[in-house]
Amino acid sequence: MARTSWSRYSNRSFYLFVSPWVLGFLLLTVVPLGYAFGMSLTNFDGSSPRWRWVGIRNYTELFGDSEAWHALLRTIAYTAIAVPLSVAAALGLAVLLNRRLKALGLWRTIFFLPSVVPVVAMAIMWKLVLNRDAGIANALLHVVGIKPIVWLIDPMAFYALIILTLWGLGGGMVIMLAALQGVPAELEEAAVVDGAGRWRVFRHITVPMISPVIFFQVVTGVIATFQIVVQPLLLAETNSIAGVGQVPRSTHLYMVQVYQEFFTSNRFGYGSAMLWVFFLVILAFTLLIQRSSRLWVHYEVDTESDR
């Protein structure tokens, strides 16, 4: 029956409807990917006509490039800390704001607001807050007798970047809140009637019910966090975003290294090879999380029986 109802639409209409997305995908994703792969096989410097094919040399060089590997490991460590913290904090805030509180709308707005502040403004604000001599963070520490901390250089710069990341978790909180409000109250009530405490209800009813949303947050969070580049550049103690040299080692993430290869060293070919390898790394992590989801994500529909 379903087939019959869809068959009245011609193939042409289908292709016309999907054409904007397909064209966008081809022109803005497939073509740049192919172009970048082609460039990764050259020693193109981004501007001069003096380039030549170098085969897979950029890839072999990358495998021996300790700077790139350190940057990748740093990025994985950063992601391993920032994503679980972001998701957990967003969930925690959502749980807190999913209650009957006075001025609930105001509280939700307050926690959501930082996520709509542009990243540049947010970075400038945190640079001021964390300023060694004039920042409020050190002023507060001074009140309790702690010596000033130089936040924006190693090793503290790493934690400053985590703080900056967590500051924008309002977006995740709203998604979690929507998921929590979709959990049927009767399920939780039934568990309470059966003698379950608050934590058991949360652990065994609420979390499994919203696990598809948590999965979504984790996957998109991992992909976005892997690709972070603007925040470390903005947090660096420099008056120029091009000052990639001023990015501390602890926040010198993989994409910062790529940025440096492209725009400081003018190695567009090598930078493209780095991007292609990174694309595969992100793909591998995404597939890994996808695989693991079978163990911890619960769908209300039986996805297996559809196959």
Q: Does position 143 bind another protein by CB under 8 A?
A: no
Least Å distance between CB 247 and another protein?
10
Q: Does position 29 bind another protein by CB under 8 A?
A: no
Choose one: 87-95, 146-154, 163-171, 221-229; the region binding another protein (CB under 8 A).
Answer: 146-154
Tell me the per-residue interface mask from 154 to 193 with another protein, x by CB under 8 A, - otherwise. Answer: x---------------------------------------
Choose one: 44-52, 72-80, 187-195, 203-211; the region binding another protein (CB under 8 A).
Answer: 44-52
| Contact indicator for 157, 250 with CB cutoff of 8 Å | yes
197 or 245: CB nearest another protein: 245
Out of 81, 150, 192, 230, the residue judged to bind another protein by CB under 8 A: 150
Q: Does position 51 bind another protein by CB under 8 A?
A: yes
Q: Does position 268 bind another protein by CB under 8 A?
A: yes
53 three-state secondary structure: strand
Least Å distance between CB 37 and another protein?
17
Q: What distance in Å separates the CA atoms of residue 211 and residue 214, rounded to the nearest whole number? A: 5
42 forms beta bridges with 53
Q: Does position 74 bind another protein by CB under 8 A?
A: no
Residues 237-266 touching another protein, rule: CB under 8 A, are: 237-240, 242-246, 249, 260, 262-266
Tell me the per-residue interface mask from 108 to 127 with another protein, x by CB under 8 A, - otherwise. Answer: -------------------x
- CA distances to 42, 44, 224 from 32, rounded to whole Å, are 15, 16, 19
Handedness of CA 199, 201, 206, 209 (dihedral sign): positive
Q: Does position 17 bind another protein by CB under 8 A?
A: yes
Q: What distance in Å separates the CA atoms of residue 207 and residue 184, rounded to the nearest whole number? A: 12
Q: What distance in Å separates the CA atoms of residue 211 and residue 198, rounded to the nearest whole number? A: 18
Burial class for 59, CB neighbours closer than 10 Å (0-12, 13-18, 19+): middle
Left if phi > 0, otherwise alpha if psi is -120 to 50, otherwise beta: which for 248?
beta
Q: Does position 47 bind another protein by CB under 8 A?
A: yes
201 forms beta bridges with none
Cα 161 from chain centroid? 13
Closest by CA position to 116, among listed 177, 176, 169: 169
Q: Does position 148 bind another protein by CB under 8 A?
A: yes
Least Å distance between CB 230 and another protein?
12
DSSP element (H, E) containing 21: helix 11-25
User: How much of the chain is in helix, strand and coil states, percent to nearest 5?
Assistant: 70, 0, 25
188 or 237: CB nearest another protein: 237
Total chain residues near another protein (CB under 8 A):
51
Q: Does position 284 bind another protein by CB under 8 A?
A: no
Residues that bind another protein (CB under 8 A): 8-10, 12-13, 16-17, 19-20, 23-24, 27-28, 43, 45-51, 127, 131-134, 142, 147-148, 150, 152-154, 237-240, 242-246, 249, 260, 262-268
